[in-house]
Chains A and B, each alone.
Chain A
């Protein structure tokens, strides 16, 4: 299990931040990703691993209109 934005989700072996974004259809460009509180820059999404039990925040920065 991992948590994404405080909601539980299934863990998948070998998954990266990119996999997690794809799975959740987080297509918005202007986001901040933190894994266990650590900021992950966009260049690292393809490689940065997400491990079982990780707490991931994907903050969508839009306060719109």
Chain B
């Protein structure tokens, strides 16, 4: 056992209708523990999960707080529905902090068992504040009512070893390992800004510790900077009524109905149980949406090499449960078992690779010009164990590769690494450099926003070109969709609270293929409804995938099949069944909007969150280079004719590119206007006081922040 530096005991609160009613505050500067009461006001206005996180984070920080300030907090919460077992996707922990990438709150969600076990240990939320030189492991035992700050000395750095050792250490027996969950990062997270957090769960079939990630925005970097090497929670005794719901019969009924739907329809629909989210790789390729070579194009014929079929037949274990929390019959958390590593410190070892998910295959694959499934899995493994957010990593490396391709940086400036598109050996070496803190690794670990400045200032690169091709907004790297032909999705990425992540809205098919939202008002409605609806998952501790990665057999008969009305009603019913409240689907949106607007004002408080921060790099909006224009010349020429009434035959290529750009940039401005109006914001993107009043969120603390901007 580890040396205990300080120990507290507590009486674990009983869960009532989804809430323990208590939250845990830990300060690592002075090894202090405090219990806080979760108030009715918090439950009413913020629900839980990301709502609780943001509420506590607001109290903890000031506008001057930076990511590495001691008062910056990592807050995590699972929400009132988190931890139920009857429905799929109910174990998500939401994590917030002031991000090193953006300087504003990041919110990131992860599966794995930590959040539910934390709540059942008596804590609706956990705040981690302070900073310590002496690295710690924090252990919470929810059965014994014990909190320990322990010395982390002698523990391995990387997650696959660290979490395995801690799980074994803190479990009371081999069978007890399923009752332990670890939050950890890895060696690279010390040297880069986009270090992530791994949330573990023990897989009794494979007998390995597995991970899901709270990946975005540098949470792992913050945790290690605070001196916290790992969090460990242990709680034994999960049942269908541990969350003490108001109406377990309804939970059972809806859960069984949903499991049956998965059983009957998944194979005909998305095949989530076979391949998980990577089922869409070829679809994206065929619809010109698979980001390729830094989003220059939307696909490549070589994408067949990284198709679902290849992963299913050659790598992914089939036919056994793969959920990241109990009761998830969607079971999309796939693994490549007995995968032999070829590079790095663990070369030769046989490991279990969690994934690959869609973002991984698209990001570490096509977007880097890599179409080798083995290399993608190796990159996937090292990103995970080193604690690297693979989306920020992939998009940053794609940017570096294009800078190199276009002669904006040289091989020497990259420390000799030949980061050419398709060179997976160089990408892996870059990852190992990040882990060792050597060479070009820590530089690439700064992320695109800082690299644009650095390349321009130190390497003489062209700042305008870098601005166009650097796929970041608010300082966060874009996730992996080539979306430049969907105006709505351009907004779906850039007009977000935390930065360009697709978890607020994914409107590409609805907009670009189905043409269901042709007007600005239509698009603005979609950019109101979907971000609000999807925010709700984060308030409640839920995963978004079970909402629409399977749909009822008669969904096509509904007025709004894209919303999946029956599943929306499931969520309303589950919420009421757990909490004993009686919300409807309109109140659900309102619950979300309160937190969404709170987060927008929080951004403003931190010096961002205005119109100027919502602009997208031109690569997101249209063709930057002549190659890009020519790759879809027919489409772009037709748009010049149809949308602008011009004759492309009479124009030079440069003129066509420039005219297309002026048009598209103007369209984006008009989209912003429409969306701001629909969201109740001023033209500058500031939530209006009257709108906040309307939704019951006119808190003095918010009005005070927006007042100078009105």
Contacts and interface: CB of A to CB of B under 8 A. Distances in A.
A60 interface: yes
Contact of A5 (B513, B556, B557, B562): B513
Interface residues of A, number: 20
Given A63-B510, A64-B508, A64-B509, A25 B561 contact: no
Contacts of A58: 513-514
A10 interface: no
Interface in B559-596: 561-562
Question: Number of contact residues on B: which range applies?
Answer: 20 to 34
Interface stretch (A11-19, A28-36, A44-52): A28-36
A25 B555 CA distance: 24
Contacts of B268: 29
Interface stretch (B233-241, B279-287, B667-675): B279-287
Contacts of B562: 59, 61, 63
B548 interface: yes
A33 to B, nearest CB: 9
Interface of A: 5-7, 25-30, 32, 39, 57-65
A27 B286 contact: yes
Interface in B522-567: 530, 544, 548, 551, 555-557, 561-562
Contacts of A32: 556, 561
A50 B222 CA distance: 59
Given A30-B270, A57-B514, A63-B509, 12 more contacts: A5-B516, A6-B518, A7-B515, A25-B287, A28-B286, A28-B509, A30-B269, A39-B557, A59-B561, A64-B280, A64-B502, A65-B358
A6 B517 CA distance: 11
B44 to A, nearest CB: 29
Nearest to B551: A61
B530 A65 contact: no
A65 B479 contact: yes
Contact of B287 (A6, A28, A39, A63): A28
A46 B506 CA distance: 31
B526 to A, nearest CB: 10
From B506, B513, B516, B557, residue with most partner A Cβ within 10 Å: B513
B507 interface: yes
A26 B562 CA distance: 17
Contacts of A61: 509, 548, 551, 555, 561-562
Nearest to B503: A65
Contacts of A28: 283, 286-287, 509
A36 B283 CA distance: 27
A63 B506 CA distance: 5
B506 A60 contact: no
From A5, A29, A39, A64, residue with most partner B Cβ within 10 Å: A64
Contacts of A59: 514, 516, 561-562
B506 A64 contact: yes
From A5, A28, A30, A65, residue with most partner B Cβ within 10 Å: A65
B546 to A, nearest CB: 13
Contacts of B509: 28, 60-64
A39 B513 CA distance: 18
B269 A60 contact: no
27 contacts: A5-B514, A5-B516, A6-B515, A25-B286, A25-B287, A26-B513, A27-B282, A28-B283, A28-B509, A29-B268, A29-B269, A30-B269, A39-B556, A57-B514, A58-B514, A59-B514, A59-B562, A60-B509, A60-B513, A62-B283, A63-B510, A63-B562, A64-B506, A64-B508, A65-B479, A65-B481, A65-B544
A57 B358 CA distance: 28
A2 to B, nearest CB: 14
A59 B555 CA distance: 12
A62 B503 CA distance: 13
